[in-house]
Every structure is written in structure tokens, then in C-alpha cells.
Amino acid sequence: MKEQLLQKFNEIFGAGGDIRVYFAPGRVNLIGEHTDYNGGHVFPCALTIGTYAAVRKNTDKTLRFYSMNFEHLGVITSFVEGLTKKKEDDWANYPKGVIWALQQKGYIIEQGMDVVYFGNIPNASGLSSSASLEVLTGYILKELFHFELYMIELALISQYAENKFIGVNCGIMDQFAVAMGKKDHAIFLDTSNLACEYAPIKLDNAKIIIACSNKKRGLGDSRYNERRSECEEALKELQTVIAVKALGDLSEEEFEAHKSAIGDPVRIKRAKHAVYENRRTIQAVKALKAGNIAEFGQLMNASHISLRDDYEVTGIELDTLAETAWQQKGVMGSRMTGAGFGGCTVSIVENEYTREFIKAVGKTYEEKIGYKADFYVVDIGNGPGRL
């Protein structure tokens, strides 16, 4: 990949100078969905697929971005000063947003750069191609301009860029998982205070399989922000009867005792998912540490059902993938992952059944939905770095 990237860089921007190549992973969340902006726990891991970049500083203040994934858009040009989101800049708004966010936090960027990006994460799949691109750009700037930045700070700056520049009110999980990834480990993160621990993923006789629905979605124009505001409203209503900072602070029992304070049945369902999903995540990590993969898988299934019925973010594509997966031999658990409204499912499947699983789920999906799903048998990788 490095050689292809350098070849493309030389073709677009010319050879010579100090050209560097970097990588940042995508991520998949094993359990704990739509809990990160509700002060709950999440359990993501970084993947060995992700985003690559070849970069060279230039002598002026021009930013030149080129993506091998969107070659038809050509070189997108901007300037270090006065950065604003522009519709015509398309995907390049993400790296622009990170540069803007660093400037907002007081980091001085006096030179421009030429960058060629390539991602092997399926676009709009829910595997955090945007967070991967953001963290990668932040890591490049940290290296090129010698910024003293911890990886947690880099995750927070990337989230700030997505919230304030892109306009998607996302939580911290995606950027955190990308920045803090560790090979063969998932990250048990308490989003209320960013306390985290690495939990080894020991799947001795099983694989993680991601099924991409190929239904395109964009977070900014999806109902993501709507779900977040519904939860915020429900929290305000609960705070009139119980002292609580976030939905993630509540136990199931406390929620059931006070849910009548929420004045709308839809908001009750949204808040119920946030509370119960958080508890499921805590329980799932305990099960994994105890080597109980079967219980972990059952909690994954319960997570999908809650996302389908209470949070209503799945849709026919993701439901077909998960529900068909549950019927297959060797499947320990399967659920949608990511924001929903398209994207992917994640399944844990015993080694001997992986081919059969892909064939059977793929066949049913195509028959029912009318187009193919793509399947990826993935490994858990590290966070960003220079190649």
C-alpha cells in the first residue's frame, strides 16, 4: 500500500522532498451503541483496515488534498487561514475541520501541506471512516509541526472538529477507539470521565465478521442528532425527580422507578435503550473477562433488539443481516454496529462455520434487499502511526 500511495503522490504533486506515509485504523464497536453521548460505557476495538496518507509540507500556506477513493473530485485546495466548511470540498471538510480545531485550541500551523489519502474502510459503513480520517490528519499535524499532544487530546480535538466544523453531534467513542487502538484488545471506555482499560479479545476458535449492508448513509443528514436531542430531553425530565448527571448513571431499577417523569412514550423508549445498553456493556465485558463468549454473544443479540425496538435505528437492511445471522450454525452473537440507518453488523462466528455463514447470510440478504452485502473477516489492530 505504501508504494502505491507514494507513486500516486509523485504523480499528483511531484517527487522529491520529505514525503511521509501514515496510517490510522477504522474501528468496530462490539457492544455499547448510542451510549457514548449519554455518559455510558462502550467497547470498541481498532481494526487493521483504515486510512493511509502520504504527506509533504509545502512552502506556502496552501492545503492540497487528494483522495484515491474520490479521484473524480481531483485536488481540493484550501488555505491554512480562514478555514470554513464548504459543500464543494466534500470529504476534504474532515481534514480541514481538524486543522481548524487545532487552531481553535491554540496550535500554530504556519505552513500548508500536500496530502494523498486512501482508505480501505467501506464508505458510509459505520466503521468510522470519518474518525479514522480525522485522527490520521491530527496525527500527521502533530508529527509535522512537533505538537505535544497526547493521543486522548488528539481524540478530543477530532471530536471537536466533527461537532463544531462538520456539524455532527457525535460522542467521543469513534475518535477515541481510533486514537487509542491496541492490537488484540478492545477498549472498555467510560465516556463520562474517559477512564478506560484494555480487555484482551481471546477468540481462540472464532472470528469477528463484519457485514456491510451497502446502504449508504451520512451521519450529518441522518436522524442521529434527533436521537441525541431526544435523550437530552428525557434526561432533563428525569432530573426533576432524581439527582443524575447522565442516563448512563442510572441502573435499570432506578430508570423503571422514575421513567414516568418522561412525558413522551417515544422518549421513554430512547432513554430505556441508553440505560439498559450501558448495563449490558458492563455485563458483557465481565462475561468476556470470565471467558464466557456465549453470554457475551447473547448480550450482543439483546443489544440489537433494543436498537431495533427502543432506539429505532436499524432498518430492514441491518435487521435482515442480524436476524439471518442468529439462525446460522456457529454464530455466538450478532448486532448492528455504528450509528445505524445503514452501515454494518458485527458477528462472532466459530471458525469452522465462517464460509457457510458468509454464503448463507449473503444469499438471504440479496434475495430480500435486492443487492449484495459485503463481508470482512477482521483483525484487531493498533492506533495511528508512521509507516
DSSP string, 137-187: HHHHHHHHTT----HHHHHHHHHHIIIIII-----SHHHHHHHT-BTTEEE
List Cα–Cα distances, 8 to 55, 90, 134, 277, in angstroms.
11, 20, 21, 44
DSSP annotation of 380 reads B
List Cα–Cα distances, 286 to 248, 273, 289, in angstroms.
17, 20, 5
**Of 94, 8, 87, nearest in space to 54 by CA:** 8
Determine the Cα angle at 7 with ends 6 and 8, to 5°.
90
Distance between terminal CA atoms of the chain?
A: 10
Residue 31 CB burial class (10 angstroms; 0-12, 13-18, ≥19): buried
- What is the rounded CA–CA span in Å between residue 229 and residue 207? 36
- What is the rounded CA–CA span in Å between residue 312 and residue 223? 10
**Residues with catalytic roles:** 174
Three-state secondary structure call for residue 91: helix
